[in-house]
Amino acid sequence: MTQTLSQIRVLTFCILFCSFLAGGFYYASAQSQALNGQIEGVVTDSTGGAVPNATIVARNVETGTERLVTSDESGVYRLPLLPLGTYRVTVEVANFKRLVREGITLTTGQTATVDLNLEPGGVQETVTITSDAPIADPGKIDVGRVMNAREVQNLPLVSRNPYNYALLQANVTGRPNAEFGVPRIN
């Protein structure tokens, strides 16, 4: 009887341990799916010098929500964990013209680098940049993109294997795998 009771305790412990372990892997994989983006950059003056204590406001054009930060002594600012969407970034500081940068679109997991170059002048003057120039992303070393729902629905996949979607990305190669029909991806 004592031996059976200790076996039940060991079995219960193993089941609980495996449950926590599996839950940890599930949580870790859920964290890898970024549902937000980030805007960062450096605020400089016309000579290239850093502008500390500049007030930077990122406004989501669709929702109207705003996030406010201040540049540090090196002129660096960072707006992490922004919901996806299109943003308007405004920077203001004494003795400089207000600068507005529009059309900054954040996609899943993107870090948009938006360097802001201020011109000397009064606060009453505003410089607005509305061009669709590509946003530099010097911290990104990989090549990839996010497929939207329409692209996924229009793909002709006979096997309906979601791992085959990875083969559509740049710099991804694969070869057939007899194990469970999952391709080997490099």
Predicted local distance difference test score (pLDDT) of residue 124? 64
pLDDT (tens digit per residue) in 57-111: 999 999 999 999 999 999 999 999 999 999 999 999 988 999 999 999 998 888 8
Which tokens hold the place of 35?
Answer: 């549902």
pTM of the model: 0.55
CATH 2.60.40.1120 fits 36-129, yes or no: yes
Domain boundaries, the chain: 1-33, 36-129, 149-185
Task: Give pLDDT tens digits for 5-24.
Answer: 777 887 787 787 777 766 66
